[in-house]
C-alpha cells in the first residue's frame, strides 16, 4: 500500500484518526515526552507551534514531532524534555515510513535539526539512515548524556550499599538534620514551596513555570507524581519533582536553597525518593535526564549518549556554506 505523509499543526486534528490518536495517547508510552499532552503543554506554555509529521500505510502510523523555526525545522522539544524520539505503531515498517517522512520534508524546509535523540532503541540510527536514504546530507554528533540507574531487582538497602563512601557518610551525618515529606497528590502550597526553593537555589531562572506546574498537576491526576520536600526548623529548604510510570522513575527537577547547603538536604531528600520508587513503586529504571552534573554520578550507574542530527538539502544553495563549515568542523574535531 502507498505511504501517505501528512502534517498537523492543530493537535486536535490527530484525534480524528483513530490509529494515530491511539498511538499518541497510548498509556504504555515509553515516557511523558511521547504523549500528545506533553506537546500540547509546549504549545500552550512555551510558544512552540507543533508540526506533527505523520506517515501512514493504511494500518500503521509513524510520527515525528517537529516545530518550525524560521525557514528551518527542529524537534518539538525544549529544556524540560529528556529526549525526543520517533514514534510508530507496534507492527509498522519503521524504516519505510520514516524514509517517506524524510523525503516529503524536503518540500517543507531546507534544514532540519533533531535533538536530543536517544539510540538505546535505535532511534537516532533509524532517523539518520532514513534521511540519508531520502537524499539529505546528514551530520550526527553526540550533544549530551543521560544518566540512568538499572535497579536490577535490588532493594533500596542493597542499592545504597553500592553508593560511594562519601555519599553514604553524608547521609549518616546529615539525615537527622532535616525532615522529609513525600507527596503523590498535587498540593498548591507544596508547589509554591518548590518554586520558592528554586528561586533561592543555584539553578538558573525557570524556563516556563506555568508549563511545569501544569505538567505536575496532570501527572498527579494520573497518579504519577512524586514530589519531595525537605524541611529544616519547619522551613522548606529542598524540593524534588519526580514522576513514575511503567517501571521508570523520571527525575525532572531538584533544588535546595543556598543557605541550607551545609545541611545537605538534597542528599537526604534524594535518598528518601530513591527508597520510595525502588521499594514502594518497584521501578526497574531511574532516569536522571540530561546533563553531566557530578552529583548524578553518585546516584546513577550508567551513562547513555544523546545525539543531534543536522540535515541539509544539498540542492539548496543557502545550505552549501553551512555544509562545508559543518564538515570542516567535524573533521577538525576528529583530527
Q: Cell numbers of 301, please? A: 550507574
Lowest-confidence range among 9-23, 166-180, 258-272?
A: 9-23
220-227 contact pairs (CB < 8 A, 24+): 220/184, 220/185, 220/186, 221/186, 223/184, 225/183, 225/184, 225/185, 225/186, 226/182, 226/183, 226/184, 226/273, 226/276, 226/277, 226/281, 227/182, 227/183, 227/184, 227/186, 227/187, 227/190, 227/191, 227/194
pLDDT tens digit string along 35-65? Answer: 999 999 999 999 999 999 999 999 999 999 9
Extended beta strands in 233-280, E state: 235-245, 248-256
Mean pLDDT of 19-27: 83
Q: Cell numbers of 51, please? A: 508540526
Mean pLDDT of 126-149: 98
The closest alpha carbon to 289, from 88, 31, 28, belongs to 31
The closest alpha carbon to 241, from 269, 261, 263, 221, belongs to 269
Q: How many residues are listed for the chain in this entry?
A: 335
Indicate the pTM of the whole model. Answer: 0.94
Q: Cell numbers of 221, please? A: 491526576
pLDDT at 188 over 90: yes
- Asked if omega into 116 is within 30° of 0 (cis), the reply is yes
d(CA 94, CA 86): 9
The closest alpha carbon to 257, from 275, 226, 289, 231, belongs to 231
pLDDT tens digit string along 62-91? Answer: 999 999 999 999 999 999 999 999 999 999
Reported confidence tier of residue 332, pLDDT bands at 50, 70, 90: confident
Beta-bridge mates of residue 68: 73
Asked if 253 contacts 287 with a C-beta cutoff of 8 angstroms, the reply is no
Compute CA 184 distance to the chain's CA centroid, rounded to the nearest angstrom. Answer: 21
The topology under which CATH files domain 153-283 is Aminopeptidase (3.40.630)
Q: Cell numbers of 89, please? A: 505503531
CATH no. of 4-143+305-334:
3.40.630
| 4-143+305-334 and 153-283 have identical folds | yes
Task: Identify the residue whose cell numbers are 529548604.
Answer: 237
Domain boundaries, the chain: 4-143+305-334, 153-283
Amino acid at each position: 500500500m502507498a505511504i501517505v505523509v501528512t502534517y498537523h499543526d492543530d493537535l486536535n486534528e490527530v484525534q480524528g484518526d483513530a490509529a494515530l490518536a491511539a498511538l499518541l495517547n497510548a498509556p504504555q508510552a515509553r515516557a511523558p515526552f511521547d504523549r500528545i499532552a506533553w506537546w500540547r503543554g509546549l504549545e500552550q506554555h512555551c510558544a512552540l507551534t507543533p508540526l506533527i509529521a505523520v506517515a501512514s500505510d493504511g494500518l500503521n502510523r509513524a510520527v515525528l514531532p517537529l516545530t518550525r523555526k524560521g525557514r528551518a525545522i527542529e524537534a518539538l522539544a525544549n529544556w524540560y524534555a529528556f529526549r525526543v524520539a520517533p514514534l510508530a505503531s507496534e507492527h509498522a515498517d519503521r524504516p519505510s515510513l520514516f524514509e517517506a517522512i524524510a523525503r516529503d520534508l524536503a518540500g517543507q524546509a531546507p534544514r532540519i535539526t533533531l535533538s536530543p535523540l536517544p539510540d538505546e532503541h535505535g532511534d537516532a540510527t533509524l532517523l539518520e539512515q532514513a534521511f540519508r536514504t531520502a537524499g539529505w546530507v546528514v551530520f550526527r554528533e553526540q550533544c549530551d548524556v543521560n544518566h540512568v540507574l538499572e535497579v536490577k531487582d535490588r532493594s533500596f538497602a542493597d542499592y545504597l550499599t553500592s553508593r560511594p563512601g562519601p555519599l553514604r557518610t553524608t547521609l549518616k551525618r546529615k539525615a537527622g538534620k532535616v525532615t522529609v515529606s513525600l507527596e503523590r497528590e498535587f498540593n498548591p502550597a507544596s508547589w509554591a514551596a518548590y518554586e520558592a526553593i528554586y528561586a533561592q537555589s543555584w539553578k538558573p531562572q525557570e524556563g516556563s513555570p506555568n508549563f511545569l506546574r501544569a505538567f505536575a498537576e496532570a501527572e498527579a491526576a494520573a497518579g504519577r507524581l512524586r514530589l519531595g520536600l525537605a524541611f529544616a526548623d519547619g522551613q522548606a529548604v529542598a524540593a524534588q519533582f519526580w514522576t513514575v510510570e511503567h517501571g521508570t522513575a523520571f527525575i525532572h527537577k531538584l533544588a535546595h536553597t543556598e543557605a541550607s547547603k551545609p545541611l545537605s538536604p538534597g542528599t537526604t531528600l534524594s535518598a528518601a525518593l530513591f527508597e520510595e520508587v525502588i521499594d514502594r513503586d518497584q521501578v526497574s529504571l531511574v532516569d536522571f535526564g540530561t546533563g553531566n552534573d557530578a552529583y548524578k554520578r553518585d546516584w546513577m550507574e550508567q551513562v547513555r549518549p544523546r545525539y543531534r542530527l543536522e540535515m541539509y538539502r544539498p540542492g539548496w544553495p543557502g545550505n552549501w556554506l553551512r555544509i562545508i563549515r559543518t564538515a570542516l568542523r567535524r573533521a577538525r574535531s576528529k583530527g
